[in-house]
């Protein structure tokens, strides 16, 4: 399991996932909160140490790319919630989401159809920004 992400790390990862590849400056510009570029560089280095991003150097500029798909990170977060609150039961997490109206019948049917067709792994990591499953 991947090390957990802090709030700013999650924000930075959202920008990296959305862009495919980003410099620290681009990430800083797209963050919801104001941050110094040095802070963003530090967060990106920390994310690289944790295994979430990798970098290449183009003309002395670091370009960061996600090393882990968004879907995998989301799945591990849900697994962690299931372990902490539901004795590891994903079914209980999903049932709770339906009970709390976070997951309506339409979305639940869509998930069931997707899983039944064997496309869950393919489509899970490619959902658009902000879209809920």
Distance CA 113, CA 4 (A): 31
| pLDDT at position 128 | 39
User: At a CB cut-off of 8 Å and minimum separation 6, what does 65 contact?
Assistant: 16, 20, 21, 53, 54, 55, 56
| pLDDT at position 98 | 85
Verify that 41 and 25 share a domain, yes or no: yes
Verify that 58 and 88 share a domain, yes or no: no
Verify that 58 and 77 share a domain, yes or no: no
pLDDT tens per residue, the chain (133 residues)? Answer: 889 999 999 999 999 999 999 999 999 999 988 999 999 999 999 999 999 999 999 999 999 999 999 999 999 999 999 999 999 998 899 888 888 888 888 888 888 888 888 765 555 544 433 333 3
Residue written as tokens 């500029």?
Answer: 61
Residue 131 domain-assigned?
A: no
Residue written as tokens 């009970």?
Answer: 99
pTM of the prediction? 0.76
Residue 133 domain-assigned?
A: no
């Amino acid at each position: 399991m991947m090390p957990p992400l802090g709030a700013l790390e999650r924000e930075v990862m959202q920008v990296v996932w959305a862009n495919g590849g980003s410099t620290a400056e681009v990430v800083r510009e797209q963050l919801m909160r104001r941050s110094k570029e040095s802070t963003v560089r530090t967060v990106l280095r920390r994310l690289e140490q944790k295994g979430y991003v990798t970098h290449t150097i183009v003309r002395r500029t670091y370009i960061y790319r996600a090393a882990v798909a968004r879907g995998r990170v989301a799945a591990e977060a849900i697994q962690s919630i299931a372990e902490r609150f539901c004795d590891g039961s994903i079914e209980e997490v999903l049932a709770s989401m339906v009970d709390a109206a976070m997951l309506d019948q339409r979305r639940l049917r869509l998930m069931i159809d997707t899983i039944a067709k064997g496309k869950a792994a393919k489509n899970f990591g490619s959902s658009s920004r902000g879209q809920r499953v």
